[in-house]
Amino acid sequence: MCGIVGIIGSTSVQSSIIEALEKLEYRGYDSAGIATISENEILCRRSVGKLSCLKNELSNAPVLGKIGIGHTRWATHGAPSIDNAHPHQVGKVALVHNGIIENYNELKAQIISEGGIMVSETDTEVVAAFCNMFLESGMSPEEAVSSTLGQLKGAYALCFIFEGNEDLIIAARKGSPLVVGWGVEEMFVGSDAIALAHLTNQLTYVEEENYVVISRKEAKFFNFEGKEQPSKKVFVNSESVLVTKSGYRHFMHKEINEQASVISYALGSYTSFDRKRILLPNQIPSFAKMDRLIISACGTAFLAGHVAKYWFEKISGLPSDIDIASEFRYREPIISKKTGAIFVSQSGETADTLAALRMAKSNSIETIVVVNSENSTMARESDIIMPIKAGVEVGVASTKAFTSQLLVLAALVIEAARQRKKISPKQEEEFINQLFAIPRLINEVLSRENEIINICSELANAQDILFIARGPLYPLALEGALKLKEISYIHAEGYAAGELKHGPIALVDSSVPIICFAPSNILYDKTTSNIHEVIARGGKVILVSDKGGLSDFKGDVWKSFEMPFSEPFILPILYALPAQLLAYYSAIEKGTDVDQPRNLAKSVTVE
Ligand code: M6R
């Protein structure tokens, strides 16, 4: 989970590499480095901390050269330190790596037994050491890389440069994404299109288990057996990947505020012109033939899938399981021919979700991916793609991708219900009308942001916070807790409201705020009973409900937040807003780094 970039330019590449790394910082930001070749010599600078630290270092000691590689790191093996930062240079080769070399211990032992010295604690340095060893044995750079790849187990995107050769980058991919960008007398390679958006709009996605030999004039693609492969150029709209904060203090805040328009846009893509039918943009899943649905994802995407489980079972009558992707893969699930599988991912590159998708595919069942990045590995490997059309999401805390995932999952649920004859055309139209109310209701919630700021001025002092809710809002309690932990570092847990009395209520005292999502619907009475149990034990309740729910509540709440009234179907999408805003403004109170919280990365491409 690091960002890598390589450039063969027509002028000095330092500033273009740094700009690319700025775009890739969402993939990791605990250390960074750059290596160029000037006058046949490899020049390397590395620093601990965010990219700004590397920039400071470069302002004192710039690197010259028209060829170079860069890296922004999310540590897997070895703490953030200069020695562990990339690029790693051994002899005549320097490289950057995203992924994990699983057999590095074995390889390291071999290098040490042959008299080699390893200076870092990383899994990456062995790759440079092996490549250099092969170069020293007389192999060409391409032969040396190819032989090195033959030694490696695990996942990687790698980018190599070679001392004495200012017109050659070799990059390889297995399990981690890699894209080549085409310029005029310039070539680029990086972890994703965003990294290269300021340089070119002509891209070729490197296929799995392929490597690419890049010179200033061209790129040639090969499979790991060394056979040249055809390549396809795609043209991307640079505007769609160039992102700015547009005046907002943080990307997260901007992305929260984009949700009404993003959902309107997705709705246009998933419904008929007369708003009477769901119209899926690509292939249609065969829900009518399924007797069971598996939904799998990680983190916030998993929680979107968790809501969808409630919807699929209630509205379309399709038995559904929800699984954390890293568990699904190893628990040997029973998969029959009539099982369908949905994978949800913003990035489309999350290693655990990708592995789960591949596992489902190996069982020959229909796979559907609900994804933001339409050129991602998951989008390319699944049978059916359902794009969420949320635009680039930069904030590490997922916000607009979550609500857009829910919107697309809701469309799939309605499609499934129609196919399975569980709803009439009139009911389908009613559901669609409810979806069309979402943008207006989101804006209503956002117009009350100041009230959330007031709540957070006190909430942020808490050491522990609980979230509770019932039914399809239970995953929102989990999401509220996840978001809060992630960016404010306050310990928070989400519980099904009815579960509190089975243990967690022991935590309740006057120092623990309990945020309760309790709209006035069929579950209101049961949820408020649980709230009374909390109040009776001195708990400080923040009640989030609609006007009716707040006025019907007979008890002392610490604070409350009024939500607009809405139909039960769309509640999970609307209640995402207070969950996100409570986390955002608590983080602001605490002064944490909202867009780049500690220890995290946006795209988790290691298992
Ligand atoms: O790209 P994905 O949607 O597959 O990512 C999954 C999770 O890593 C992600 O949702 C993570 O939990 C977010 N940081 C939560 O805000």
Q: Is 398 in the pocket of ligand 1 (CB under 6 A)?
A: yes
pLDDT in tens, 2-22: 899 999 999 999 999 999 999
What tokens appear for 310 in the block? 């409630």
- Asked if the model's pLDDT at residue 598 lies above 90, the reply is no
Q: Is 346 in the pocket of ligand 1 (CB under 6 A)?
A: yes
Residue 11 tokens read as: 């002028």
Give the residue, by CA position, lying nearest to ligand 1 atom 4.
345
- Three-class SS state of 426: helix
Q: What is the pLDDT of residue 122?
A: 93
Q: Is the CB of 605 under 6 A from ligand 1?
A: no
CA 74 to chain centre: 14
> In the prediction, which pLDDT does 315 show?
98
What is the number of the ligand 1 atom nearest to the C-alpha of 483? 16
pLDDT digits (tens, 9 = 90+) for 180-205: 999 999 999 999 888 998 899 999 99
- pLDDT, tens digit, 9 for 90 and up, residues 540-569: 999 999 999 999 999 899 999 999 999 999
Q: Residue 175: pLDDT band by 50, 70, 90 thresholds?
A: confident
**What tens digit of pLDDT does each residue of 66-97 get?**
999 999 998 888 889 999 999 999 999 999 99
Which residues contact residue 310 at a Cβ distance below 8 angstroms, ignoring those fewer than 6 apart?
A: 471, 472, 475
- CB of 397 closer than 6 A to ligand 1? yes
Residue-wise pLDDT for 131-165, tens only, equals 999 999 999 999 999 999 999 999 899 999 999 99
Amino acid 241: pLDDT = 63
* Cα-to-centroid distance, 403 and ligand 1 (Å): 13
The atom number, within ligand 1, closest to the CA of 397 reads: 16
Sorting pLDDT into bands at 50, 70 and 90, what band is 239? low
Out of 16-20, 211-215, 503-507, which region has the weakest mean confidence (pLDDT)?
Answer: 503-507
Higher local confidence (pLDDT), 359 or 598: 359
354, 388, 604, best to mutate for ligand 1 pocket (most atoms within 8 Å of CB):
604
Q: For 392-414, what is each residue's pLDDT tens digit?
A: 898 999 999 999 999 999 999 99
In this structure, how many other beta carbons lie within 10 angstroms of the beta carbon of residue 138?
Answer: 8
What number of other Cβ atoms are within 10 A of residue 80's Cβ? 17
Rounded to whole angstroms, how far apart are CA atoms 242 and 337?
42
Give residue 493's pLDDT: 96
pLDDT of residue 329: 84
- State the pLDDT confidence band at 482, using cuts at 50, 70 and 90: very high
pLDDT at 179: 95
> Helix axis angle, 400-419 relative to 259-270, nearest 10°?
30
Q: Which of 251, 350, 382, 405 to mutate to test the pocket of ligand 1 (most atoms within 8 A of CB)?
A: 350
The token duo for 435 is 């979806």
Strand partners, 234: 203
**443-457: average pLDDT:** 96
Q: What pLDDT shows up at residue 438? A: 97
Taking only the tens place, the pLDDT of each residue in 275-315 is 999 999 888 999 999 999 999 999 999 999 999 999 999 99
CA distances from 541 to 176, 473, 512, 522 (A): 44, 17, 9, 21
- Residues forming the active site: 2, 602
Q: 0.85 cut: is pTM over it?
A: no
- What pLDDT digit, counting tens, does each position of 371-392 carry? 999 888 899 999 999 999 999 8
- The tens digit of pLDDT for each residue in 240-289 reads 666 778 889 999 999 999 999 999 999 999 999 999 999 998 889 999 99
